[in-house]
Structure 1
């Protein structure tokens, strides 16, 4: 297949029923397969199919992000069982979500590299930088020879390969792949118990949301006689509240950035009047304590706890898991995006099929790259993904019509998030209809139905630039993104007056936001030529 660089057009239609053949990697090694196994004295030889992957045990060091809900990776059934199957032992170097990027950057800066990065959240810019710099190895030949499951997915969905391949034809990182629509976007959860108690209808517009949040603040919907309700909250990272609400103000997120496409023209909207309206709206919510006052300081664990407390009026999350864990899920329903002041109503933050870019990468210190690629490839099959997401059959899950579900006994323990690295997002594996029962139960499906009519018809994935352009993008965005996040936060919390908006726009121009826009425009123009 001819490799193309750039981004790929993604529809938001639900892709369901993907049933991948695991290329015999999920069956015991017998007969003909034994001929392909490595010799007993050659741990570097890798079997072409089946298990173990190597005859002699090998050890790998992997750097990984851990979510607050996770237990130690070494104790997870998936990795204990897979070590026995594969003959590959993994020593995990764990870093928590909070502060993970800083530790990842330090790892590369010091050149103290592990064998691989797992759930590493590498960006396109990082993959280009560290790949061309020799700190990550090219994976395309390894995928073709040692990753039949991943290769089949890439052949089935060509946008995956195009979205992770550089113009030079290299793949430096592989993504988490999502073929079920509800796993590609956060839902909008509102406390229906509070709505019912206060005789309020589901808000349809941003103005109606404002009125509902005021009622949540003032009318004691939890009935304890205290004004302790949290009307609205969101994650604190990377201006999550802005991306969640952007679609109501006509602001899209194309190319994985703050970009609208209008008549084939790229418009980076950070200094636009529409964005000013959005930030002013959020400032109004924050100043009137309708928006969580800990919005920009809370940790992930605190945010999840607020979801499960039942004392929050409105928030955003992909699943209903935190609510299930504390049994308050009946209080919440999923709702549609809000219509904004200009009639816009877009669910702008939907992700592409290759949802989690940079989920796994291999470094040059790795002595066993072939075995490492076979190790990760298993999780791009339905069987491997079932093991990763559900643990042990009988002990943790049971099959119903071929679909894995946690057993009632195991659900009662509340330990689902402790046994799997998928909890917290970003794991390198396949999320298909067949393995999505926990993140796609009826409540989540119903919430997604509210969003489907407002999902973008066209979604461009973040581009893979050539090295020279990537370096320019990196330099420009390092300054622009930091400045935009700092100033936007100040606008929202009231530390910076909107009288300074003109100065804000002028500073963005001095930082060459117009040049950045031109680079993205060239990317889009090249994509159109390739159609």
Structure 2
């Protein structure tokens, strides 16, 4: 964990991976403060420092939000209906579907037609700095200190949160989702234990043992139908920006390759190493090429849709795969068990895949037109405590969930309706709130908890989030990564499938050099030096 004090943390920071927009200068920081102060003066007397209601006289707020396909209308969600009565704050949501959300968000700021706040806003690093320095978003650090006790407590408990959301100038313009539950930050390594038992095999402990198990899955008819139709191993076809093909971070820890700072980075004695061109990565790609060429790795691993991937999990005809939870194979969950990271050829055994405690870093922001910033920060702070997070994720006790040993679980009756996504903005991701052990029963049942215990000994002590570069540096990183990431993913897939010979590895390294991977590494090093 980072031990340096907050004064040092606020000098630089870390935030979201997506660096896509042009920006403005930070010369308007003082105007942000002035705007904030005026808003403070307008609402100070109306806000309760603690307890409910937040305001004595009802107020209305307009919020712009993304809505996922699985969601129902926000106005029908019990969390917003009940919280409106509790807080005395009524929220009018402008709900924009995921498809087209980014474009409409861009237009919102370009036209300066601002809501009071953005909820589930997916603000990128450049967006946060651009709109904050332009005065369209207000700084939140003073409001957090006075009116957000839940979020302030989380920042104190998890020092990695502050640098993840603080600009180099020391401002916080957006709040993240906070995930304190380790099991909600990792994809587990699921293996078909029924097949292992039938073939009299032990759980693999090394990459070589995994290879032998996968060969047995391919050749020895573990599903018993007399056909060679088993899928020994598969993975998702797409993932977040920058980590390349999903199969890589799932297996890279066995070759000593980590994913720090939201990128393909190892941290060795505080030195940043972008490892895409090094020999350990070559060994990883060679191992995956061996699996692919021998039909042990799913030939659809680079092309399948998410729906196809999840269907394979539920088919029972899959040997080894990766996922955060067991939702997609619940009917056959006893067929699978989680295993530890595999020890690689050099003795490495690292759980390299996983998110940091602060996630979805630009999830909530308050704009300069908001007349009630204190009331608004208090409104969102409720969801960073377990009571508010429970209401957001589970709805009403008795109607939607019941408590067992203090932990909320959806009732069987409500589960059978299949309407979980209709009652909570959590479904579909990106909602600003706390995900803790207490409120994650749906994605963290006992089988998943057990699988996480297999990973825990091999996880890094701290997972650093992406650096929040200053605007000029962010533009440089954006340009460099756009070329490097595209090239790396294309060439990696070719190495794995055999379309590109490893005799071309020197050429691959040389091209990475031409694309200025060393310059990118220095930018990450400079950012890390300010927070380490």
1:475-503 deviations in Å (ceiling 9; x for gaps): 32222223222332333334433333222
Contact 1:70-1:421 within 8 A present in 2 as well: yes
CA contact (8 A) 2:260 2:465 kept: yes
Match of 1:55 among 42, 54, 57: 57
1:295 aligns with 2:296: no
* Residue matched to 1:160: 161
1:480/1:513 contact within 8 Å kept: yes
- What is the distance in 2 between the residues matched to 1:203 and 1:105? 49
Q: State which drifts further: 420-429 or 101-110.
A: 101-110
Distance 1:198 1:261, change over 3 A: same
Task: Pick closer, same or farther for the CA change 1:146–1:497 going to 2, 3 Å.
Answer: same
1:342 to 331, 341, 346: 346
Match of 2:97 in 1: 95
Q: Matches of 2:113 and 2:211 in 1, distance apart?
A: 50
Unaligned runs of 5+ in 1: 9-37
Provide closer, same or farther for how the CA distance between residues 306 and 268 of structure 1 changes in structure 2, counting only shifts above 3 A.
same
1:333 to 331, 337, 340: 337
Corresponding residue number in structure 1 for 2:66: 64
Instruction: Give distance in 2, aligned partners of 1:44 and 1:233.
Output: 58
Residue 417 (structure 1) shift? 4.0
| d(CA) in 2 for partners of 1:282, 1:72 | 44
SS, match of residue 357 in structure 1: strand
Residues 1:461 and 2:465 are matched in the alignment: yes
1:174 is matched with which residue?
175
CA distance 1:192–1:375, shift in 2 (3 Å)? same
Are 2:44 and 2:374, in contact at CA under 8 Å, matched by a contact in 1? no
Q: How far 1:105 sits from its partner (Å)? A: 6.4
Aligned to 2:287: 281
**1:248-291, CA deviations, whole angstroms, 9 ceiling, x for partnerless residues?**
11101121211112233221101111112212222333333332
Q: 1:47 to 1:191 in 2, by over 3 A?
A: same
Q: What residue number does 1:402 align with?
A: 406
- Closer/same/farther in 2, CA of residues 158 and 337 from structure 1, 3 Å limit: closer
- Where in structure 2 are there 5+ consecutive unaligned residues? 1-5, 15-39
Q: Corresponding residue for 2:433?
A: 429
Deviations 1:98-150 (A, max 9, x none): 78767766776787766544334444455334433555432223323432321
Counterpart CA distance in 2 for 1:322 and 1:495 is: 33
Deviation string for 1:296-344 (max 9, x for gaps)? 33333333333233232222122222222xx111111110011112221
Is residue 5–residue 163 contact of structure 1 (8 Å, CA) maintained in 2? no
1:251 is the counterpart of 2:253: no
Q: In the TM superposition, what is the alpha-carbon distance from 1:382 to its structure 2 partner?
A: 0.9
Out of 233, 242, 248, the position equivalent to 1:242 is: 248
Moved more, 328-337 or 285-294: 285-294
Residue 518 of structure 2 corresponds to 514
Are 1:446 and 2:450 matched, yes or no?
yes
Q: Does 1:485 align with 2:489?
A: yes
Q: Is the 8 A contact 1:43 1:56 kept in 2?
A: no
1:151 aligns with 2:152: yes
Q: What SS is found at the alignment partner of 1:142?
A: helix
TM-score, normalised relative to structure 2:
0.83
Match in the other structure for 2:313: 307
1:397, CA displacement in angstroms? 1.1
In structure 2, what is the Cα distance between the partners aligned to 1:107 and 1:203?
Answer: 52
The size of the alignment, in residue pairs, is: 493
Q: Report deviation, 1:385.
A: 0.5
Identify which range, 167-176 or 156-165, moves more after superposition. 156-165
Secondary structure in 2 matching 1:158: coil
Equivalent runs, 1:1-80 vs 2, <5 Å:
2=7, 3-6=9-12, 45-49=46-50, 50-51=52-53, 53=55, 55-64=57-66, 66=68, 69-80=70-81
* Equivalent in the alignment of 1:229: 230
Look up the match of 1:139.
Answer: 140
Alpha-carbon distance between aligned partners in 2 of 1:187 and 1:168, rounded to the nearest angstrom:
38
Give the drift of 1:383: 0.5
Q: Cα distance 1:43–1:168, how it changes in 2: closer, same or farther (>3 A)?
A: closer
Pick which of 272-281 and 283-292 moved more.
Answer: 283-292
Q: For 2:500, what is the secondary structure of its paired residue?
A: coil
Aligned CA-pair RMSD:
3.1
Q: Distance in 1 between matches of 2:117 and 2:267?
A: 37
Instruction: Tell me how far apart the structure 2 counterparts of residues 81 and 366 of structure 1 sit (CA, whole Å).
Output: 23
Paired with 1:365 and 1:493, the residues of 2 have a C-alpha distance of 53
Q: Is contact 1:347–1:456 with CA below 8 Å preserved after alignment?
A: yes
Give the counterpart of 2:325 among 319, 324, 343. 319
CA distance in 2, matches of 1:492, 1:109: 43
Separation of aligned partners in 1, 2:403 and 2:462 = 36
CA distance in 1 between partners of 2:111 and 2:509 (Å): 37
CA distance 1:125–1:276, change in 2 (3 Å): farther
Q: 1:208 to 1:121 in 2, by over 3 A?
A: farther
Cα distance change on mapping 1:70 and 1:56 into 2, 3 Å: closer
Give 1:524's aligned residue: 528
CA distance in 2, matches of 1:302, 1:69: 18
| SS of residue matched to 2:232 | strand
> Residue 425 and residue 339 in structure 1: after superposition, are their counterparts in 2 closer, same or farther (change >3 A)?
farther
Partners of 1:398 and 1:174 in 2: CA distance: 29
Moved more, 403-412 or 327-336: 403-412
Q: CA deviation at 1:435?
A: 1.8
TM-score, with length taken from structure 1: 0.83
Contact preservation (8 Å) 2:218, 2:296: yes
Partner of 1:272: 278
